[in-house]
Amino acid sequence: MAITGIEYTVFRFLREQNALPLGVDLLELGEANWYGDVALEAFQRDIGLFAREDDRASLTQWLEDVIRQLRTPPDTAQRTAYMFALPKVWYRTLFHAQSIVSIDLGGTSQALRLDLNQPIDLGRRFGVVLNIGTAEHVFNQFQVFKTIHDHALAGGLMVHVLPFSGWIDHGFYNFQPTFFWDLAAANRYEVVLMLCGEITPLKLTQLHNREGIIELAGKQAIGQNTNLLVALRKPHDDAFVVPMQGYYSQQLSAKSAAAWKNMR
């Protein structure tokens, strides 16, 4: 998983709107690295705007040191360490994260080596759970989304950034918007935000409802390699519910039902 301009732009916007929980414990499925399409100087300015007051000086100094050292290319191991450390500083900046736990079979030595195909119990829950570029690589979709649900606090935020169109042979799956609308309906999640995002060039389009993707498809405005970014809030402690696709549970509007038949 990687923190790209999509995540940086959207999370920054949500923070400006006071829509991010602060001072939380954070769980990431897949240990994030820094993609490199966001200027570190912009990140540096945002530390001054968003970091906890008692954290700003140390985070700013650390980032200044990283910027200075990256001007002279470091060795591969050092650069890799920076790329994995930057997202954690970003979490501390935007979420004021109190703790960060990562699950990744191929991450750094800090990550928990756990198989997301299998049931997992960390013995605690988190105010934010991030699934950024991870679930598409896990065969057992039921288990990974149940794990996310079970580890999110009531009132917690679950954020998914997953491939939608393109991404040929990138993982096992691409995800359709109906997957998340139906997941949210079955589990009574609040859909805080859903959008389509393209990394290069950066392009973000919000989907306000199920019909939004139909309109984009009709305009042929879905990019070749597009991600879905979906932020869901879990308002309760109820057990995870497996969704039925909205078309078959008759949850779609007449427009969406017609598109399901006609846009094949």
Q: Please write the tens of the pLDDT for every residue from 227-248.
A: 999 999 999 999 999 999 999 9
Query: The CATH number of the domain where 148 resides is what?
Result: 3.40.50.150
Other beta carbons within 10 Å of 254: 7
Query: Total structural domains in the chain?
Result: 1
Cβ contacts of residue 218 below 8 Å, gap of 6+? Answer: none
Looking at residue 78, its pLDDT comes to 86
Mean pLDDT of 116-123: 98
Q: How far apart are CA 78 and CA 65, in angstroms?
A: 13
Which residues share a beta bridge with 129?
A: 27, 158
Kindly report the average pLDDT of the chain as a whole number. Answer: 94
Residue 22 has pLDDT above 90, yes or no: yes
Q: Which of 38-52, 66-80, 218-232, 244-258 has the lowest mean pLDDT?
A: 66-80
**Structural domain span for residue 49:** 2-262
Q: pTM, whole model, 2 decimals?
A: 0.95
Alpha helices in the chain, H assignment, sequence order: 5-16, 40-50, 56-71, 76-94, 141-151, 177-187, 211-218, 254-262
Average the pLDDT over each of 45-54, 139-148, 171-180, 249-258 and give the range with the smallest value. 249-258
Tokens 């990138």 sit at which residue?
A: 170
163-192 tens-digit pLDDT: 999 999 999 999 999 999 999 999 999 999
CA distance 118 to 146: 10
